[in-house]
Structures are given as C-alpha cells and as structure tokens.
Amino acid sequence: MAEPLLKVKNLRQHFKISRDFTVKAVNGVSFEIYPGETYGLVGESGSGKTTIGRSIIRLYDPTGGRIFFNGKRISGKLDSQTDKMLRQNMQMIFQDPMSSLNPRKKIGDIIGEGLDIHKLYSTQVERNELIGEMLKKVGLSPAHAERYPQQFSGGQRQRVGIARALIMNPKLIIADECISALDVSIQAQVVNLMKDIQHETKCAYLFIAHDLSMVKYISDRIGVLHKGWLVETGSTHEIFSNPVHPYTQSLLSAVPQPNPRVEKNRRLIPYDSANADYEHCTLQLVDGSHFVLAPTN
C-alpha cells in the first residue's frame, strides 16, 4: 500500500475567547489521506469541519497534535523550505466563491497569483498561456482572464476558485463546502469537473461538506464529525451500509430519498447530542478500515 499523502494525528484546535472561556473546536482528530483519493468530512454546522481544513493548511496554528504532509511534518514552526513545499503542493477551495476572490483584481491575476509568488514561469507569454489553459480546463474561456469576479455567476466564480487551486498542480486540495452556495444543477457540474481533474492529475481531495448524497458520490472514504470529535470513519460503502455510531445513524436517517414511496416511510432516528460525552472514548476497529468512537474499556 502507498504511503499516506496526509497524516493527521490527534489534531486539537482550541480558541481562547476570554480568560475563563475557550472554544474547543477540534478534539483529538486523526485520519489519513492517500494519493489520488477523496476523503469526505461530514457533520452538522459547527462540528469543526472547516476548522480542520484551515488547521491542516496552516491558516490556523494547531493547538496540539501532529500533521504530516508529503513526508514532512507541517505542524509546529515551519522552516522556509517546508513552508514553500506546503504552499505549492496544498491548495484550498473556499466555501464562498465571491468573498474569496479579490474584487479589485482581474480573473487572470487572481489565478496567476501563485505562479507570480513562486516564479513558476519564464516569460509573460508563458504565464498567460498557463492561465488560459487552466481557464479552458475548468470550462471557461481564456478571454475571461480580463474580467472581474463580479461579472461572473456563482458557478463560474467557483470554477475560478478551482482554477486558482489547480494551477499550482497541487498534490492535495482542501475543498471547503465548495458547492454549498450553488444551485443543484451547478453542483453536479462542479463535482463532475473535480472528478475529471482528479482522474487527470491524480491529486487528492479533502472534501468538506454537509450534503451526504454528494459526499457519497465523490468520496472513497468518509469521516463523520460531531462536536469536534471524529465519531466514525471508514469507506463510503461501510459508512452508508453499516453506520455504527448513533450520531451517524441519525445523520443518515435525515437524508431525503428521491423515491416518494420510500420517502413516505422514512423515519428519523433521534440523537441526544446535548448529553454526548466523548472525553473517555477512543476510535475502535469495527471491520476492515471501519472505526467508531466508543467508550474505552
């Protein structure tokens, strides 16, 4: 088996709000992502999904734990060489395609910013060719490089965000709710585009979302988050066919079914999240690669 591209060990991310209050957003999360695969991270709003993504790419300094990427440790203080490797080989697609794009910059300059910083071209002509080719790859026209973000629709802006991430030819892309602000038909287009690009470039995805049907479609393995804890993780088939943790069962029971007869008889499984206590629990093997958070014996 190939070595993991990303290894997250006991990641903790806490935010001190005041002298007496600290928000424990992420608590001891561990998972691995292998080259070329998609790892889906799901959970309700406020469960810590986005915080994990931002901690991995070092927009936040992790409170505790260890993160290894491409064979190097990227948690703690980064030296210049490791920082450069991280910025070139890991990219992020943000949730809001408008607020993540500078409205004062043209699309070509937004997409080419990484090329400019890391000096990945020899001439201005080569730079423009790289940007034009990337725009065509995500379904836009090279002529769009001269336009501004506000001249595009939401789906087109998200394609610009994907192009900005892909132009660095990264090994890992963190997609943070990158389809949640889009219409359903546009969601399908963007996800299919991401799958096509993954097939072509062999990049890996950390796909953060709360739409379970879309996560099922794109992911090879899935991790379920609740209150900053990874309560269950396994292959897509294992999670959807045999959910073990009560929270996972409750989450899956809330997914609408396209068949009206099945939907009519669908029953929600309640879960008392207020009394959930994970402090004395550990991930325990169920079967194969299927782990569930259970009380320590």
Three-state DSSP state, 123: coil
Strand partners, 281: 295
| CATH H-level superfamily of 6-295 | P-loop containing nucleotide triphosphate hydrolases (3.40.50.300)
* Residue 277 zone, left/alpha/beta (φ > 0; ψ -120 to 50; rest): beta
What pLDDT shows up at residue 1? 57
Neighbours of 129 (CB within 10 A): 13
Neighbours of 141 (CB within 10 A): 10
What pLDDT shows up at residue 5? 95
- Which amino acid type is present at position 153? S
Q: Is 13 exposed, middle or buried (0-12, 13-18, 19+ CB in 10 A)?
A: buried
Helix (H) or strand (E) holding 115: helix 113-118
44: Cβ contacts below 8 Å, ≥ 6 apart = 210, 226, 251
Give this prediction's pTM.
0.91
Q: How far apart are CA 175 and CA 177, in angstroms?
A: 6
What pLDDT shows up at residue 35? 93
The answer to whether 232 and 224 are in contact (CB under 8 A) is: yes
Where are the domains positioned within the chain?
Answer: 6-295
Three-state DSSP state, 53: helix
Helix (H) or strand (E) holding 52: helix 49-56
Q: How far apart are CA 119 and CA 101, in angstroms?
A: 21
pLDDT tens track, the chain, 297 positions: 579 999 999 999 999 999 899 999 999 999 999 999 999 999 988 899 999 999 999 999 999 999 999 999 999 899 999 999 999 999 999 888 788 899 999 999 999 999 999 998 999 999 999 999 999 988 899 999 999 999 998 888 988 998 999 899 899 999 998 887 777 877 888 888 889 889 988 899 999 988 888 899 999 999 999 999 999 999 999 999 999 999 999 999 988 888 898 888 888 899 988 778 898 889 999 988 899 999 886
What pLDDT shows up at residue 81? 93
69: Cβ contacts below 8 Å, ≥ 6 apart = 5, 6, 7, 56, 86, 89, 90, 172
Record the tokens describing residue 249, joined without a space.
Answer: 């069962």
